[in-house]
Structure 1
Amino acid sequence: MDSKQPYDVIIVGGGIMGSTTAFYLTLKDPGLRVAVIERDLAYTRASTTLSMVNARIQFSLKQNVRISQYAFDVLERFEDDMAVAGNRPSIAYHREGNLFLHDPAAVDDAKAQMAMQQGLGCQVEWWTPDQIKARYPLYAPEGFAGGTFGGQDGHFDAYAVLMAYKANARAQGAVYIEDEVVELMVDNRQLTGVRTLSGEVYTSSAVVNCAGAWCTELARTAGVALPVDPVKRQCFCVDTAVKPEGPLPLTILPSGFYFRTETGGMVLIGKSLDADPVGFDFTWDQNRFMDELWLELAEFVPAFERLKLVRGWAGLYAVNRLDDNAILGEWPELKGFYLANGFSGHGLQQGPAVGRYMSELILGETPELDLSIFHPRRILEGKPIGEVGIV
């Protein structure tokens, strides 16, 4: 398709958000002219492919729970539903659970959230320290009041899921272009297209910002200020001398420390800190594991004190500083500018529901799942979504 020919929708960013949006748009309207412009189609620095990967039901906001429920349904059927020309994706979907540990002061909030989740049909249970120890003998949970366990939570192959969405979107007519959008073009408060680093101009009256950690930079070219920062998160892979008898769930401590087992008996570890650097920094620092994480892991799992650090990597969270929740919908002050931003580490699992929702908004359909609570008008009004506890 010639670059001078207008597109119906231009999506900036071809990661999980961009590709699910392209998939649903072309599924709903096969005649729609959709272009996805992605700066790196190898996805070497995409948050989608650098994620530790998790799909969980344990959120304290009802809409986030509903988003995860849809993702669970999609992932369960994914390999059958997303085959293209006989090529069936293999996404290694493992539902090994998520276990959140809670301090005594957090018990009331945790149980209230659990009751809400159960009321929505979620399989979440309260476990005492003794129950945790019985299920996972290597753990030392005695210092905690207990934990909430989501048995349907799990992880999957993020790259395989992304490639399947991309392959289906392309088979349905979406065009993927490798280039970097450097300017959103505006005329009288109406978005008219984009200009790329290579000098190409692509025109459309609907542009979707799916640029992930780069979303704020992109929006700024149209005079839109987003409260989203690119924050570095590091993951570490270790080989422990003592192996658990079976897979361990993603286990999250109140400090923000988390870990789970990986294929081959390895353990993946990470921790989110307020002091994590802001910027586009992908350097990996093994000293962080030795200085900050090793002791915490050994305290909760004493058998893991002896281990070998095998590898690590760094990726970016697109952190919404207003309330850590997604920003979804058309920017009130700029017609045709749609946002799917600020997922703060939840984006991969929220991709299916968000892609469907964005397609519904763009096509003027009534959404199957009402996500209007995430509308960007709250950014202009400075009104965060009221959510406490797990985010």
Structure 2
Amino acid sequence: MVAQSAKPTQTSYDVVIVGGAIMGASTAWFLMDNPDFDGSVLVIERDMTYANCSTAHTNSCMRQQFSTELNVRISQFAADFVKNLRSHMGGDTRVPELSIRNFGYMYLADTETFADVLRGNAAVQRAAGTATQLMSVDEIKAAYPFYNVGDIVLGSINTVDEGYWDGAAVFDWWRRQSRERGVEYVQNEVVAMTRTGARIDSVTLASGEVIACGHVVNASGPRAARTAKMAGLDVPVEPRKRYSWVFSAEQPLDRDLPLTIDPSGVHVRENGGGTYQCGGHADVDPAVDYDDFAMDHSLFENHVWPILATRIPAFEAIKVTSEWAGHYAMNTLDHNAITGPHPEVGNFIFLNGFSGHGLQQSPAMGRGTAEWLTYGAYRTLDLTPFHYDRVVQDRPILEKAVI
């Protein structure tokens, strides 16, 4: 096994991955799992505790209810990967057998306009083979009597391969197996890049080393724009603060609570044992500093809790047991992933802008990026619609189902 350290053991690597959280870890693992890849891989992560990365602050849920077929297909592969983790990882008996806790996502529409969006999304999802169901108000009330649906027009839910999964276990095993297969992880920070025309020649680390590279993968989450800037490039990704609270209910619900997306944007889900997790953000939602994780304690009292108690009256009496602020790596162009090479700097690869759904997209995105690095093309899902070219061309792919 190659141990993590502060300094690389070599002066040159075929692939240098900037960022060792879920996207960097996935890419490194899929590279080493590909028998056609025989190169060297260096993963540079500024904080190996991962305390403030988006991966650590996730809901750890997956859904297939997206508005574009490609995003649906990406989540379908994630579900397969998680449910067959040991098999995907070579039958390694140390790897746990995982499952998805399928409480589903429940989108609630309070206007006919939003209901039409859900209907259109459901058509896309069903065509891709999902089990999405549209529910009338009476059907919602019968299945989930704890909801107040007085203002609701329509609901959309899928309880097949939608819900909680153990993202931390997958993340851990990607890193563990990658190291055993030769990937080198260092706790360090890229502070500069050397570019000659259409190529990145090297990266410079905070500790002073200059590392030559065949390809650079920008997997630096909310810091994506900062990493791209070192190469003289721009990417429309910025950190947006998202707040989460875990609470216990004095009167727990009598059945699982789907991850419920209220029309207000506040979301809440089952957490187990009479506890629940909810999240939201302020109405004013600017970009924040990379290191700004301060809580807004008034947000829960004045905004989130009133919405929860109105939607689910049993949540009038609750007690917050933990809370935190994390960052979305928000793609301000269209809330979709930005992948693939820069059209002019071909060995700089983007893996950015997941806008809150990165964890569930990490298996397909890591696999696809590894394919591109190995073959210069995709062998499974075609991710070219998400390539950086559309940023240059101002050609957004609108994803309507962003939480």
TM-score in same-fold range (> 0.5): yes
Match of 1:159 among 168, 181, 186: 168
| RMSD, aligned CA | 1.8
Q: What SS does the corresponding residue of 1:204 show, helix, strand or coil? A: strand
Q: Distance in 1 between matches of 2:62 and 2:399?
A: 19
Match of 1:60 among 61, 67, 79: 67
Q: CA deviation at 1:181?
A: 1.0
Task: Work out whether 1:187 is the aligned partner of 2:196.
Answer: yes
Match of 2:125 among 117, 122, 131: 117
Task: Tell me which residue corresponds to 2:289.
Answer: 279
Q: Distance in 1 between matches of 2:96 and 2:210?
A: 34
Match of 2:105 among 98, 104, 110: 98
Q: CA deviation at 1:30?
A: 5.7
Q: CA deviation at 1:165?
A: 1.1
Q: Distance in 1 between matches of 2:62 and 2:281?
A: 17
Task: Tell me which residue corresponds to 1:355.
Answer: 366
Q: Distance in 1 between matches of 2:209 and 2:374?
A: 26
Task: Work out whether 1:247 is the aligned partner of 2:256.
Answer: yes
Return 182-191 or 251-260, whichever deviates more: 182-191
| Deviation digits for residues 328-352 of structure 1 (CA, Å, limit 9, x no counterpart) | 0001121200000000001000000
Return 31-40 or 85-94, whichever deviates more: 85-94
Amino acid at match of 1:343: F
The answer (yes or no) to whether the contact 2:335–2:398 under 8 Å persists in 1 is: no
Q: What SS does the corresponding residue of 2:150 show, helix, strand or coil? A: coil
Task: Tell me which residue corresponds to 1:48.
Answer: 55
Q: Distance in 1 between matches of 2:365 and 2:128?
A: 19
Task: Work out whether 1:10 is the aligned partner of 2:16.
Answer: yes
Q: Distance in 1 between matches of 2:398 and 2:44?
A: 34
Return 265-274 or 5-14, whichever deviates more: 265-274
The answer (yes or no) to whether the contact 2:11–2:210 under 8 Å persists in 1 is: no
Task: Work out whether 1:371 is the aligned partner of 2:383.
Answer: yes
| Deviation digits for residues 97-147 of structure 1 (CA, Å, limit 9, x no counterpart) | 111111222222211210111111101001112211211221112211121
| Deviation digits for residues 44-66 of structure 1 (CA, Å, limit 9, x no counterpart) | 01101111122000000111111
Q: CA deviation at 1:310?
A: 1.1
Q: CA deviation at 1:10?
A: 0.6
Amino acid at match of 1:370: D
Match of 2:148 among 140, 143, 146: 140
Q: Distance in 1 between matches of 2:147 and 2:197?
A: 60
Alpha carbons of 1:77 and 1:4: their partners in 2 closer, same or farther (altered >3 Å)?
Answer: closer
Gaps of 5+ in 2: 3-7
Match of 1:131 among 133, 139, 147: 139
Q: What SS does the corresponding residue of 1:220 show, helix, strand or coil? A: helix
The answer (yes or no) to whether the contact 1:91–1:161 under 8 Å persists in 2 is: no
In the TM superposition, what are the counterparts of 1:371-390 in structure 2 within 5 Å? 371-388=383-400, 390=402
Q: CA deviation at 1:190?
A: 0.5
Task: Work out whether 1:215 is the aligned partner of 2:227.
Answer: no
Return 106-115 or 299-308, whichever deviates more: 106-115
Q: What SS does the corresponding residue of 2:163 show, helix, strand or coil? A: coil
Amino acid at match of 2:284: A
The answer (yes or no) to whether the contact 1:8–1:34 under 8 Å persists in 2 is: yes
Q: Distance in 1 between matches of 2:104 and 2:206?
A: 43
Q: What SS does the corresponding residue of 2:359 show, helix, strand or coil? A: helix
The answer (yes or no) to whether the contact 1:3–1:200 under 8 Å persists in 2 is: no
Match of 1:38 among 18, 42, 45: 45
Amino acid at match of 2:212: T
With structure 1 as the length reference, what TM-score do the two structures score? 0.95
The answer (yes or no) to whether the contact 2:368–2:378 under 8 Å persists in 1 is: no
Q: Distance in 2 between matches of 1:276 and 1:91?
A: 36
Alpha carbons of 1:9 and 1:257: their partners in 2 closer, same or farther (altered >3 Å)?
Answer: same
Runs (4 or more) in structure 1 with deviation over 4 Å come to 1-4
The answer (yes or no) to whether the contact 1:4–1:201 under 8 Å persists in 2 is: no
Alpha carbons of 1:18 and 1:390: their partners in 2 closer, same or farther (altered >3 Å)?
Answer: closer
The answer (yes or no) to whether the contact 1:126–1:147 under 8 Å persists in 2 is: yes
Alpha carbons of 1:44 and 1:310: their partners in 2 closer, same or farther (altered >3 Å)?
Answer: same
Alpha carbons of 1:193 and 1:90: their partners in 2 closer, same or farther (altered >3 Å)?
Answer: farther
Alpha carbons of 1:124 and 1:372: their partners in 2 closer, same or farther (altered >3 Å)?
Answer: same
Q: What SS does the corresponding residue of 2:84 show, helix, strand or coil? A: helix
Q: Distance in 1 between matches of 2:273 and 2:201?
A: 50
Task: Tell me which residue corresponds to 2:337.
Answer: 326
Return 84-93 or 266-275, whichever deviates more: 84-93
Alpha carbons of 1:11 and 1:390: their partners in 2 closer, same or farther (altered >3 Å)?
Answer: closer
Task: Tell me which residue corresponds to 2:5.
Answer: none
Match of 1:339 among 350, 357, 376: 350
Question: Percentage identity across aligned positions?
Answer: 37
Match of 2:316 among 305, 317, 329: 305
Amino acid at match of 2:227: L
In the TM superposition, what are the counterparts of 1:224-239 in structure 2 within 5 Å? 224-239=233-248
Q: Distance in 1 between matches of 2:97 and 2:190?
A: 32
Q: What SS does the corresponding residue of 2:309 show, helix, strand or coil? A: helix
Q: Distance in 2 between matches of 1:149 and 1:34?
A: 41
